[in-house]
Chains A and B, each alone.
Chain A
Amino acid sequence: MKRNYNTIAAIAVIIVAILLNMVGNKFFAKVDITAESSYTLSEGTKKILDDLAGPITLKLFSSKISTENKTLLNQIEIPVRIIKEFIKEFNEYSESITLEIIDVELNSDEEDTAENYGLQGAPINSMDKFYLGIVAINMDDPDKEASIPFISPNMDAFKDLEYKISKLIIEITKIQKTKIGVISDLPMVGNNIPPQIAAQMGKKSQKPWQFIEALKFQYDFVSISKETNRIEKDIDGLIIAHPKGLKDNILYAIDQYLLNGGKLLVFVDEVCVADTPPQGQDPRMAQGYSKSSDLKKFTTSWGLTRNPGQVLIDAKSSLETPMGRIHALFQGNKSNFPEDGKITKGLSNIEFFIPASYDYKSVEGIKTEVLIKSSNRYGGVSSMQLLRTPQKGWYDLTRPLLKDVTEKEPTGLVYRFTGKFKSIFPDGLKKDDKEAKNPNRLKESTGNPSVIMISDVDFLNDSFIARRDQFGRPLNANFVFVQNLIEFTMGNESLISIRSKTSTMRPLTKLDDIRQKADEKRQKEIEKHIEDEKELSKKLKEFKFTVVNGELKINITPEQQVKMDQLKKKRKEMRKKIRNLKYLTTKEVDAEKLSVKVFNFAFFPIIFLILGLVVMFYQRGKVSNNG
């Protein structure tokens, strides 16, 4: 009887536990305690989902991990599960989202369906493919569908998954795209001419720059001619990139557009490397080709004065490699951004190649925010001097200039202006012009105009935006930054908050700091030794060599030979000293690594060892006392 009772009780408890779990699975709660709420939908996504007018179906195609392919797919099982779990968040948050998870089995109909939707499989062996992709369908208009053809099954890909899905949803639900006008001499919008037709026309087929291409899903970018004297009302925002030689007609058009509550994004540069002379131009003319741009009449009215012929270099925030080479004259990080900056939130490594230098003085009625500022140690370098020096020599050129720079108030590299703007044409285009008498002509702004002014253009260019390391990871945040700039200007901030989650990196910064400080500490000494070594090499070259029967011979006296040997010995010693100094830096970093290892290896074992000994002696004392 007792035995039966025990068995029944055991079964009953197991059933109760299973029921409890079943109920728990129906009514559950979860808390995301990660620092950036990485696994919770961001406010931007929630807003996009809240604004949905009709039903959306998300179809997630995922290859089934079975015994046949398990050995090949074992590594990706966890990332795939995490990705699946996260996609469920969309469906859990919004009733408008229906989620279908389709397990794709090998050689099944689902494989064909996935291919028909444009999904791409990654080959796992010579025969089979692995699928992980999403198709979004607007159920009110099933012709509107978009897809993420393949999601890399790793945690790096997970970082921008929320952004990509949100983008899909916008793409299939957006009724009308926002129209952005572009005034630029640079071919950033592309010409949309297929290569073959372009060749027939004697032109070059040009693709849009990457940031334009990436935003096409919700914006229409339209080139605006420099000959125009009116910006149409249907233009929701205006990009002015690298403005050169803009005549009064277009300046007036921009002026009136801004005063009408327009939104401007202005990119100017002291030296725009992406700006190349037109094909077929006389090489002598090309030499004097100006790569500088400005919007002087406007920038002056906003309180900015250009330092002509000067580019800004930041002593603390320039992008240098440990080999002493400069990649960009300015690299923006957390300390260069405002604490509550929406555009720069979560970003690091915004690189400006050769930024222009401006002084700022406030203007009545205009509210100014600095979105990116320099450090407190910066200086100006002549653009001509910089251009004459190959990039590998920039470090040597700029270091001496920055060595004695004193600390001062940081200067701005990206400004935002809002408030009351005044016309830069207070008397109209021409005094006798009929436009001057136009009653609709504005002398002061109405509505909520805004301007963002960035003192670099090259950072937009594909060669900078697409800078990646050997693993294909972006080396800078320029791509995200420019997308944020455009969306912020256009008032679509939903995607900005999602993007800010994608660029979270957690490097071991202390080791980098130690390395940097150690380099700085020895920099002067190393530089001195390098100079000495150069000097010695120069002296050695002074000995005259002659070629006799194809062999290098040296015509020197025995005294000179002794001197040469001494110089060689000295040079060898100098090189050794340089090597040793560089090795000391590595040694400092290694010392920190070792201290971390020792601390983790020994701290608690020693504590417990001491505790054990104390307990042992205490017990022995107790025994002897009792004895």
Chain B
Amino acid sequence: MSTILKITKRELMGYFTTPIGYVFIIVFLPFLWYMVFQKNDFFALQNASMDTVFSTMPLIFLLFIPAVGMRLWSEERRTGTIEILLTLPISIAQATIGKFLAAWIFILITILSTLTFVVSLNNLGSPDNGVIFANYIGITFVAGAFLSIASFTSALTKNQVISLILSFLLSFGILFLGDPGVLEVCKAIAGYLHLPVNPVIDFVGSFGFYGHMINLQKGIIDSRDIIFFISFISVMIYLNILLINKQKAK
């Protein structure tokens, strides 16, 4: 455990001792600001709510997180430092979890930098802080899930651009998996393969992030959503470990 924490600390410091972390935050916040105040005219809505902030964040994260995650393993492989890492007296699991946690904490810091919106809303009116808190939990889990995908795709290839595109496509697909349009396609495929349509749709739909964010967006913390996100992240990290192990064996 202490090894994981050491790796996490070292990796986290990496975000703040190089310009990359600052660039991400300084680009992320004005973009979000533009979406909230300029594009959606926050004051015209006359409502003390952070709906616009939280509905915009997953879309920004679709690009932002693959960009953060692409360097987790691809960078190590490109520069050859992965060879050194694999010879250190740490396990692959420890290295993978440590790197993932560091990136997740960095994203969490980015998320928390939107707390100025909470301060402003409480100053301007009486927002429902319960709903805001639940949304923060939701967005943290969505970010973690996107990051686990990005970490996995980063381990697949040493080309960072391919990793970014792959993780963007996967994240995009899973974010909208519960979308009726996607489900209609699944329905057609299930019909073609003579599979029971409704169970297939329910099963596929249950993987969509969108469906698991609805309750949290409303202000409800549901154990089903939390279990889903934790198990999703865990599976992706485990697959990531298997992948690195496979590369080590080579």
Contact = CB atoms under 8 A, between A and B. Distances in A.
Contacts of B181: 67, 70
A26 to B, nearest CB: 10
Contacts of B119: 599
A65 B201 CA distance: 13
A596 B120 contact: yes
A511 B231 contact: no
B193 interface: no
B231 A39 contact: no
Interface in B133-167: 133-134
B127 A506 contact: yes
A508 B125 contact: yes
Interface in B198-231: 206, 211, 214-215, 218-224, 227-228, 231
Given A508-B125, A604-B29, A21 B231 contact: yes
A6 B238 CA distance: 11
Contact of A77 (B19, B49, B180): B180
B172 interface: no
B-side interface mostly: helix
A-side interface mostly: helix
Contacts of A34: 128, 130-131, 218-220
A586 interface: no
Contact of B16 (A21, A511, A615): A615
A401 interface: no
Given A600-B33, A604-B29, A605-B26, A508 B47 contact: yes
B184 A67 contact: yes
B48 A508 contact: yes
Interface residues on B, range: 35 or more
Contacts of B211: 81
A29 B223 contact: yes
A33 B133 contact: yes
A439 B96 CA distance: 92
A82 B30 contact: no
Interface string B120-132: 1001111111110
Contacts of B17: 615, 619
Contacts, number: 153
Interface string B42-56: 010011110000000
Interface stretch (B59-67, B73-81, B83-91, B242-250): B242-250
A283 interface: no
Contacts of A65: 180
Interface string A12-28: 01100100110011001
A340 B17 CA distance: 55
A30 B47 contact: no
Contact of B180 (A66, A82, A619): A66
B96 to A, nearest CB: 14
Interface string A29-66: 11111111011000000000000000000000000011
A28 B17 CA distance: 43
Interface string A613-626: 00100010000000
A345 B162 CA distance: 58
A21 B227 contact: yes
Interface in A80-104: 81-82, 85
Nearest to B239: A10
A583 interface: no
Contacts of B33: 597, 600-601
Name which of A28, A506, A599 has the most chain B CB atoms within 10 A of its CB.
A506
A6 B250 CA distance: 13
A31 B25 CA distance: 32
Interface residues on A, range: 35 or more
A608 B19 CA distance: 11
Nearest to A605: B26
Interface string B19-40: 1001001100110010011000
A66 B124 contact: no
B235 interface: yes
Contacts of B131: 33-35
Nearest to A12: B238
B220 A30 contact: yes
A615 B18 CA distance: 9
B3 interface: no
A25 B225 CA distance: 9
Given A82-B218, A605-B26, A21 B124 contact: no
Contacts of B222: 28-30
Nearest to B214: A81
A6 B218 CA distance: 40
A506 B16 CA distance: 39
B29 A596 contact: no
Interface in A369-412: none
Contacts of A615: 16-17
B67 to A, nearest CB: 17
Contacts of A608: 22, 25-26, 113
A601 B38 CA distance: 12
Closest 6 A/B residue pairs (Cβ):
A34-B219, A33-B130, A604-B113, A24-B227, A30-B222, A17-B231
Given A21-B206, A30-B215, 16 more contacts: A2-B249, A6-B245, A13-B235, A32-B219, A34-B220, A65-B180, A67-B184, A506-B126, A507-B48, A508-B47, A508-B124, A596-B120, A600-B117, A605-B25, A611-B16, A612-B19
9 contacts: A2-B249, A9-B242, A14-B235, A21-B206, A29-B222, A30-B222, A33-B219, A608-B113, A612-B19
Interface of B: 16-17, 19, 22, 25-26, 29-30, 33, 36-37, 43, 46-49, 113, 116-117, 119-120, 123-131, 133-134, 180-181, 184, 206, 211, 214-215, 218-224, 227-228, 231-232, 234-235, 238-239, 242, 245-246, 249
